[in-house]
Structure 1
Amino acid sequence: MIEQLLAYDRHLFRIVNDQWSNSFFNWLMPWLRNAEMWYPLYLFLILLVLVNFKKTGWTWILFAAGTIILCNFISSNILKENIVRLRPCNEPAYAGWIHVLVGYRPQSYSFVSSHASNHFGMAVFFFLTLRNHFKRWPALFFLWAFGISFAQVYVGVHYPLDVTCGALIGILIGYLAGRSFNRNYGLA
């Protein structure tokens, strides 16, 4: 059963990375997954929370940072180092067709995606803690996390199962952090 799941995962990877390849996505996806491109958004959120919620805003920032740190630690230091799955960009069998759209080939292991874990963790935390104050726009964080996760597969550095499992870990951690923050502090 595991072998069938991994075969399906490899097949789906090839569809996304090879068959769906096009010039627009070849431009967009490397940009979308680039962490530095999102720094203005992170700064905006920090300022927005600090200006609107003052002292509780600092606690919110600590919880948000804790969410990211925990997601990253579990995905990078525990799972990747113990599951040891080769990234698709480093798989010799794919050399004839893979499209690697980043300027390097990451040498860390593939399972699970830290990008997916971190961004879904943030998306759930942001949604749970901000939704009562900023109407519907916090729901856009799910689209943002999905786009970044999809880009990881498209650019050739992760399999679909890597980002799916990373997303599930992030959702769980973001949910626990968001619920804990709302229960103990909340944004008034």
Structure 2
Amino acid sequence: MEEIIQEDKKVFLFLNNLGDSSFDQFWMLISSTWIWVPLYAIFLYFLFKNYQLRSLVFILVFVAIGVTVSDQLAGVFKHGIERLRPCHDPSLEHHMRIVKCGGQFGFYSAHASNTFFLASYLTILLKKNLKWFPYAIFVWAAVVSYSRIYLGVHFPIDILVGSFVGTLLGVIFGALARKVINKQKITS
């Protein structure tokens, strides 16, 4: 396990040190939540165009529950595992660029989990009518996730595990949403 952690630190330092202070504000913006509200409105528009209002209500309820589970589960892991964020790790202090620092613990990334949850969940619901959608939304999730390494708040393994958990939750909630929508169509 120690070897994996050391490799994770090496990869982190490589990726983090690719950064340049002239791009710091851009990556802080990418990592912020509120900047993506217009994109969420576009997602809502696509859902509205492809589903009836009654189905849309179920879809949005599943999104709210899924993002909450994704986010809170990350918090449970952070306090259960207690792996220091890179910006709090004394062994990396003089070797990395710290642009921003969050709470003390960082395993695993809630940003990665939440964005990959949305990517997989919405892909399940929209891929049939929007063939290009999965490519675009997974690139978005990857860019947001990378921003966390750039800023110095997560290790690559934090991102990979967050991405995996988010995708898994997205697939589960997406399958549940499809099942409810299909059952709704049969009964109406």
**Displacement, 1:137?**
2.2
Match of 2:85 in 1: 87
Name the Cα RMSD after superposition: 1.9
CA contact (8 A) 2:117 2:167 kept: yes
Write the deviation string for residues 75-113 of structure 1: whole angstroms up to 9, x where unpaired. Answer: 11x2111000111111223222321223xx212411000
Distance 1:52 1:24 in 2: 41
Write the deviation string for residues 6-59 of structure 1: whole angstroms up to 9, x where unpaired. Answer: 0000000100111x1235643432221111110111123224423552221111
What percent identity do the matched residue pairs reach? 26
Gaps of 5+ in 1: none
Mean CA deviation greater in 52-61 or 139-148 = 52-61
Distance 2:2 2:50 in 1: 51
Provide the secondary structure at the position in 1 that maps to 2:91: helix
The TM-score, its normalising length taken from structure 1, stands at: 0.89
Distance 2:133 2:41 in 1: 17
Query: Would you identify which runs of 4 or more consecutive aligned residues in structure 1 move more than 3 Å?
Result: none
**Displacement, 1:179?**
1.1
Match of 1:63 in 2: 62
CA contact (8 A) 2:148 2:154 kept: yes
- The question of 1:122 aligning with 2:118 is answered yes
Match of 1:4 in 2: 3
Gaps of 5+ in 2: none
Distance 1:26 1:107 in 2: 19
Q: Return the letter of the residue paired with 1:43.
A: A
Provide the secondary structure at the position in 2 that maps to 1:139: helix
The TM-score, its normalising length taken from structure 2, stands at: 0.89
Mean CA deviation greater in 172-181 or 21-30 = 21-30
Write the deviation string for residues 126-147 of structure 1: whole angstroms up to 9, x where unpaired. Answer: 1111111223124311111111
**Given the superposition, is the C-alpha separation of residues 139 and 183 from structure 1 closer, same or farther in structure 2, using an over 3 Å criterion?**
farther
Distance 2:5 2:80 in 1: 17
Q: Return the letter of the residue paired with 2:157.
A: L
Task: Give the number of aligned pairs.
Answer: 183
